Each structure stands twice: as C-alpha cells, then as structure tokens.
Chain A
Amino acid sequence: MIDNQTVQYIAGLSRLRVQDQDSSRFARDLEVILHYVRQLEELDVKDVPATSHVLNIQNVFRKDEIAPSLTQEQALSFAIEKNSGHYIVPKVIE
C-alpha cells in the first residue's frame, strides 16, 4: 500500500521534492498503477530467464583509439556555474 509516507520516501530516493499537499494525489496514482502491474504475479516465472536486452550481442567494445570528441571547454560550456575547469556546486561537506 502506497501512503503519503511512502511517497515521501520514494521522492527522497528519487531526489524529487513532493509537497505535502501533493502526496496523497501521487500516492493514489502510484497505488492504482502498482495494483495494475501486480497482475504479473499470476504467472509462474520461476524457470524463465530474464530479458534485459533483445539483441543477441554482448560485450561491445570500441578500439582504444583517440577520436574527435568534445574538449573540456566545450563540455563545460553548458555548466550552470563553473570555475577553472570545474563544476561549481554548493558546499557538500558541512
């Protein structure tokens, strides 16, 4: 059962903030969807292998060669705040 507390817990894991007044709306939506997807419990899948990928290819590697790519400057050109080749974020360690 998804209650407001669960919504707040999942929101935290998801790095989302859900306002208290929206919790019950999200709780109801998630509960309806989870109730629907629980129909998968009808199936016996004990011996069925999982599919994570539909193509029969594995371990795709590229040659370790230098190819054209973004410079550090280009990669950082979209940064919201930067300094001397670094992203700037609020203080992490208190």
Chain B
Amino acid sequence: MKLYDQTAQKLKELIASGDISPQAIQQAVEERARAINPRTNAFLRFYDLPCTQHGSFRLPIGLKDNLSVKNQLVGCASRILEGYRAPYDAHVVERLLESGAILQGALNMDEFAFGSSTETSAFGSARNPWDTERVPGGSSGGSAAAVAAGQTIWALGSDTGGSIRQPASFCGIVGLKPTYGRISRYGLVAFGSSLDQIGPLTKDVTDSALLLNIISGFDPKDSTSANCPVPDYTQALTREIKGLRIGIPREYFIDGIQPEVLNAVQSAVKLLEKAGAQVKDISLAHTKYAVATYYILATAEASSNLARFDGVKYGRRAQSRSSGRPAIIDLYETTREQGFGDEAKRRIMLGTYVLSSGYYDAFYLRAQKVRTLIKKDFEQAFNEVDVIVSPTAPTTAFRLGEKINDPLSMYLSDIFTIPANLAGIPAISLPCGFDSNQMPVGLQMMASPFAEETLLRTAFAYEQATPWHTERARL
C-alpha cells in the first residue's frame, strides 16, 4: 500500500488504530513530493516549519501560493512578490494548524490566479500527472496536480471563476468551491473580491467534507464571511438521494463540448436517476453572458486589488530609470512592468479600461446588472430543483501551449464554472470517467447558497456507485 495514495480519512483510521504513525505518513508523502516534483512542477517551494505533535489531522497538506503562512514566502507565482514573507497566518491556516495539519509547501498557480492552465506562472507551468505534456488546469493547477500525483494528501486552492473545479476536473480529483462567505478569506491574496472563495482539493468526497469542516466558519477579520452555523459535513455523506430533484440546464449542453465529456456526463445523470433522483430539464437563460460578465467584473476588481503592488511596501522594487517622468511614477511603472507577466498586465489594463471615465456605465455597471440576471436564473432554478448537474469544463485537459497565445479561448474553458462564482453558490467537481486518451472527465454539481450538505450528499452518492475516485495517475 502506497501511503501517499491514500485518502485523509483512510490515513486517519490507520493512525487511530495504531497501524501507522503520522511521522511515517509525513515521510512517505514528503519523499514522494520531492521525487516527483521535477516532473509535475506542482510545488514551488517547501515550507520550513516545526512539526505538530497533537491534533486530529496530523497529515501533510499543500497550500496554493496565494495563502499566507506566517514567516513563509508567499508569492502568487509572481516575480513582483519576490522575497515577500507573510507577517501573519491566513484564517484557514490557523484552522489547519489547530487541527494538527502539517503544512508542506506552496503550490504552483497561474500568476495571481489569472489563468486556466498554470501556464502564466512566473516559475513555469505545472504538469498534469495523467499526461505531463498536458496542463493540470488552473489556476489552482499545482494544488490539483499535487493531490493527483500523491505529492500531498490534500490541498487548498482558491476559486474566482472555476480555479478549484476546473483543475480538479482535469486531474481526476474532487474540488469544491463553497458558498461565497462560507470560509474566511483573511490571508488570501485578493484577486476578485466579490468572487474569490477558498476550498478543498481532495482525492474523494469524504475528504472534501472533512477539510470543509476544518476550514469553514465565521471570522470577524473577513467582513464578507457569513455568521451562520457550520454543520458537520460528514453527516451529509449518506448515499441517500431518493426523491432528490436534479436539474439539467440546457444552456450547458452546447456545441463545442468534447463528445466524450458529453457522454460521461449523460451517463452520470442516468446513474443518479437510477439511484432515485428525479431528473428534469431546466433553463439558465443568461448562461451565454456569464464569461463576458465575469471578464469585466473580475478584471475590474483585480486592477484595483493589484494596485497595492507598487514596489514601496513589500516585494520587489525595480531600479528606476530616468524616463523624464517623476521619479516616483517611474518607480511604480518600472516595478510593475518588470514584476508582472503578460496576462496580469492584460487583466490590469482591461480592468482599468472598463472602470475608466466614459466606459464605466457601458461595461462595469452593465456587467453588474447582468450579474443580477444570472443570479436570478439560479434562484428560480432552485425553486424547482435541489442540485444542478453539468460538465465542469467543455473538454478534458488540453496540451501545454495549445491556448496560451489566445486569451479568449483560454477564458472560454471556464464557461461552465464561472456562473457559480457570479451567483455566489457552492459547486463541486468530481471525476466521472476518462476520455480515449485516458484523461479524466469532471462532473459539476451546483446547489443553492449554503446547501453544501446537499451537494456533498449527491456527490457522495454518485462517487460511491462508480470506480473513478479509486483510479490514480501512474507517474
């Protein structure tokens, strides 16, 4: 039995029964992480932290490189944060440490989470463990690749437009984006503040519930975190879905979906129906406008959030050049020119443009209104159904380099994941098969705000009736 391939739940049982020590697990996982990393490039660096001696989950975990761990480097896979060490722990990191977690290291990502493949990382793309010539997805691609390759037991990522679910789909694991407000973002480097949410990437649905238990809850330091009780999410794992109402949104089954993805998702729906769910067609009429809405709102918020990286307070400062401009402006511009990659520059400029005088109403305000329409579509749908099922992404993992020079086609790979962020609802991706290249296919389930239990119950029922979650990448 390879310890690094086991789930957290299984390892917890092995520790409890005295069959294995946390130290043996840590050693096996750390050896695996270091041995395989040259092939996956999933970890950007390993932390140097003292070991915990207590807690109920003394298991290794990897963190996306936008989560703050006190005194450790945090870089968002960007050169502009070179040398920056977090002065405090993120709220989720505090929670993990209380649970006994062993924080392993920082995981690769698209620079500032701007991307769907990790190819915009300043430190080279992470690779998909199922085929290292393909992308692991993004932006939490390092998190997904590390879990799928057994380099860590489980991981945290962040999801602004699909950045947990799409890489989970591409790497054959489970990724959950909780309801906006379920988890404190204190200590998460902000991208799109009205959209960002932290969530678990795990080998199966049980681990997703376990990790959600650890990190959920109100935090006075994040004024957008919701002050409502956190249930024990593992209680939702009952396999019982008789009478559950499942909606199939017709706008999500469009031309351009890879036929094998379509087949796998349709088979999954049949299986859920056989297990007692009632399946009906529904409409989410404004789906086709979601990507456009998102790329206005998310870039506008990003352009504002990234204004803080100016070469003064922390991170990198460029040597000013004499440009004839005031020296302080020159310092900002040179630092940002050298520190940000092309995609970050593109998004900052796009966001600045849609917020600029003369364009604000036409772009930003209009997009906020369309966001209302998209949110209302979901509210209406959830009057009729409990869970909405769709593909997570239109295709399986694409090849490195395939979309990197075509920003719009990259953006469109998030077409099915973006709406959940705009509406603030929880959504999960779990494996539902493989294509003819043996690349994993992801199934997405969405539920109404704070209905994570319904989501996990449905996902668990499907998972336990299928073999996909037991498959491991051979690397």
Q: In the complex, which residues of chain B have a beta carbon less than 8 angstroms from the beta carbon of A16? A: 333, 336-337, 340, 345, 348-349
Contact indicator per residue, chain A 49-78, by CB within 8 Å of chain B (1) or not (0)? 111111101001010000000100011011
Q: In the complex, which residues of chain B have a beta carbon less than 8 angstroms from the beta carbon of A48? A: 369-370, 372-373
Q: In the complex, which residues of chain B have a beta carbon less than 8 angstroms from the beta carbon of A43? A: 286, 289, 370, 373
A21 CB to closest chain B CB (Å) equals 13
Whether A78 lies near B314 (C-beta < 8 A) is yes
Interface centre among B289, B369, B422 (most CB of A within 10 A): B369
Interface centre among B84, B226, B368, B373 (most CB of A within 10 A): B368
Of B46-54, B207-215, B324-332, B430-438, the one with at least 4 CB within 8 A of chain A: B324-332
A49 CA to B449 CA in the complex, in Å?
20
Chain B's interface: helix, strand, loop or mixed, by majority?
helix
Q: Is B386 an interface residue (CB 8 A)?
A: no
Whether B328 lies near A55 (C-beta < 8 A) is no
Whether B356 lies near A15 (C-beta < 8 A) is no
Q: Is B87 an interface residue (CB 8 A)?
A: yes
CB closest residue in chain B, given A25: B342
Of B130-138, B303-311, B396-404, the one with at least 4 CB within 8 A of chain A: B303-311
From known contacts A10-B353, A54-B375, infer whether A79 and B313 are also in contact, taking CB-CB under 8 Å: yes
| Total residue contacts A-B, CB cutoff 8 A | 159
Q: In the complex, which residues of chain A have a beta carbon less than 8 angstroms from the beta carbon of B220? A: 62
Whether A80 lies near B312 (C-beta < 8 A) is yes
A70 CA to B317 CA in the complex, in Å?
23
Give the interface residue-count category, chain A: 35 or more
A75 CA to B314 CA in the complex, in Å?
10
- Residues of A29-50 contacting chain B, CB below 8 A: 29-30, 32-34, 36-41, 43, 45, 48-50
Q: Is B352 an interface residue (CB 8 A)?
A: yes
Q: Is B334 an interface residue (CB 8 A)?
A: yes
Q: In the complex, which residues of chain A have a beta carbon less than 8 angstroms from the beta carbon of B367? A: 37, 40
Whether B366 lies near A45 (C-beta < 8 A) is yes
Interface size of B in residues (CB-CB distance below 8 Å): 68
Whether A37 lies near B363 (C-beta < 8 A) is yes
Whether B313 lies near A92 (C-beta < 8 A) is no
Chain A's interface: helix, strand, loop or mixed, by majority?
loop
Q: Is A84 an interface residue (CB 8 A)?
A: no
Q: In the complex, which residues of chain B have a beta carbon less than 8 angstroms from the beta carbon of A26? A: 345-346, 349
Whether B292 lies near A55 (C-beta < 8 A) is no
Whether A54 lies near B423 (C-beta < 8 A) is yes
Whether B352 lies near A14 (C-beta < 8 A) is yes
**Chain B residues within CB distance 8 Å of chain A:** 84-85, 87-88, 180-181, 194, 220, 223-224, 226, 286, 288-289, 291-293, 295-296, 303, 307, 310-317, 320, 326-334, 336-337, 340, 345-346, 348-350, 352-353, 356, 363, 365-373, 375, 407-408, 411, 422-424, 449
Q: Using A16-B340, A79-B312 as known contacts, list a sample of 13 further A-B pairs with CB atoms less than 8 Å apart, ordered by residue number in A.
A: A10-B352, A13-B352, A14-B345, A15-B332, A37-B367, A40-B289, A43-B370, A48-B373, A49-B369, A51-B375, A62-B220, A79-B313, A91-B328
**Chain A residues within CB distance 8 Å of chain B:** 7, 10-11, 13-18, 26, 29-30, 32-34, 36-41, 43, 45, 48-55, 57, 60, 62, 70, 74-75, 77-81, 87, 89-92, 94
What are 9 sample pairs from A and B whose C-beta atoms fall under 8 A apart?
Answer: A26-B349, A34-B353, A36-B295, A37-B363, A55-B181, A80-B312, A87-B312, A89-B328, A94-B326
